[in-house]
Every structure is written in C-alpha cells, then in structure tokens.
C-alpha cells in the first residue's frame, strides 16, 4: 500500500537560521527538508507528543525485472 503524499507548504525562515540548517543537514548527510523533519520529531518527542514513525523507504536500486535480466 502506498503512503499518502507528504504535505507541502511554504516556510519562511531568517537567512541565518536557514544557513545553520544547511550546515547541520550537510554534517548529517541529509537534505534541509529531512533535517527539519528530524528536528521537529525530536522537539515533539521532548514535549511528549507521539508521532507515527516515518515510512521506511527501500534503499538502493530496485531489483531487475525478469524481462531485463
């Protein structure tokens, strides 16, 4: 079953805050979007707000189809 699409919305940030997010994301080998999601999940967990775990997507190349072998 496919997961519902992620919700997109505009986010306005101070340039210094965005630059700090970019540095943190690069240090963790994440995109800025993934870094923001991780930070939000951590902040909500500290407040005791339960959020469902993110869907784990398969990593790597998809398996070859039989007709491609």
Between 47 and 68, residue with greater pLDDT: 47
11-56 per-position pLDDT tens digit: 999 999 999 999 999 999 999 999 999 999 999 999 999 988 877 7
Cα–chain-centroid distance for residue 66? 32
Identify whether the C-beta of residue 18 lies closer than 8 Å to the C-beta of residue 32.
Answer: yes
What's the confidence (pLDDT) of residue 48?
Answer: 96
Q: Is 22 helix (H, G, I), strand (E, B) or coil?
A: helix
Token pair, residue 1, equals 């079953």
Cα 33 to Cα 22: distance, rounded to the nearest angstrom: 9
What integer is the mean pLDDT of 2-19? 88
Cα 44 to Cα 53: distance, rounded to the nearest angstrom: 12
What's the full length of the chain, in residues?
Answer: 69
């Amino acid at each position: 079953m496919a997961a519902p699409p992620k919700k997109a919305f505009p986010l306005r940030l101070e340039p210094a805050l965005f630059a700090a997010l970019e540095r943190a994301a690069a240090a963790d080998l994440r995109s800025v979007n993934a870094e923001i999601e991780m930070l939000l999940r951590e902040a909500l967990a500290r407040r005791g707000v339960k959020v469902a775990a993110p869907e784990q997507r398969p990593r790597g190349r998809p398996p070859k189809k039989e007709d491609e072998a």
